[in-house]
Amino acid sequence: MAGLPKPLRAWLGLPVRQQVAYAGRKLLDILPGRSAIRSADRRLLEETVLPGYAADPNLRSLLFVGCDWYTGDYPELFAPARERFRSIDIDPAKARFGAPGHVVAPMQEIGRHFAPESVDVVVANGIYGFGIDDRAALGVALAAAHAVLRPGGTLVLGWNDVPALAPFDPAALAGEVGFGRSTGNPLGAWRTLTDTPLRHTFDVYAR
């Protein structure tokens, strides 16, 4: 199994019943005309996390890391001040799913595109384990997020808590770059585990 892609290894590590359920949902996600993923973790992100920050009148900017076909409507959550929602992704092909002014770059380089202490919230969902995989790369990414966040700003890190995708808990590394655990957020807890086969987890850290 060592030579298989990590997402496939993670799927093979699930009980058979969860394998079938997860595969069925993934097939539904790729049907023509779909514009949203209806998994528990995605609903929590779209119905609680992002709207919670959008409703904050003091929010000036939220930087969303990682775009795809299901993120195209996210700027509308911040209406009428849609310019508060910014986006970045390493893949140029994903730019059409981002916000106006979308930035093409990896998370590790957000400091090249956003001024120090200029962002209120960074949301990085599904980045750790899908391109940013080891401690060194994640440490650079977390440090970059810390640098662009304003004092008191927030990092929301979404990740799958299974060994094939997340070989280490990111909490200690977040602490090493200067983040503290935050409960003052739309989720009301610094860590929220969702009822999903891959144990998708949201961590919330304060600068």
Residue whose pair of structure tokens reads 């590790």 in the numeric block: 108
Per-residue pLDDT tens digits for 112-122: 999 999 999 99
3-state secondary structure of 50: helix
Fold assignment, 37-206: Rossmann fold (3.40.50)
Tell me what pLDDT residue 89 has: 97
- 9, 162 contact by CB (below 8 A): no
3-state secondary structure of 170: coil
The type of residue at 39 is S
- Band of the pLDDT at 11, cuts 50, 70, 90? very low
Instruction: Map out the domains of the chain as residue ranges.
Output: 37-206
Q: What is the dihedral of CA 86, 110, 172, 169, to 10 degrees?
A: 70
The token pair that represents 8 in the structure block: 């496939």
Tell me what pLDDT residue 38 has: 75
- Band of the pLDDT at 39, cuts 50, 70, 90? confident
pLDDT exceeds cutoff 50 at 136: yes
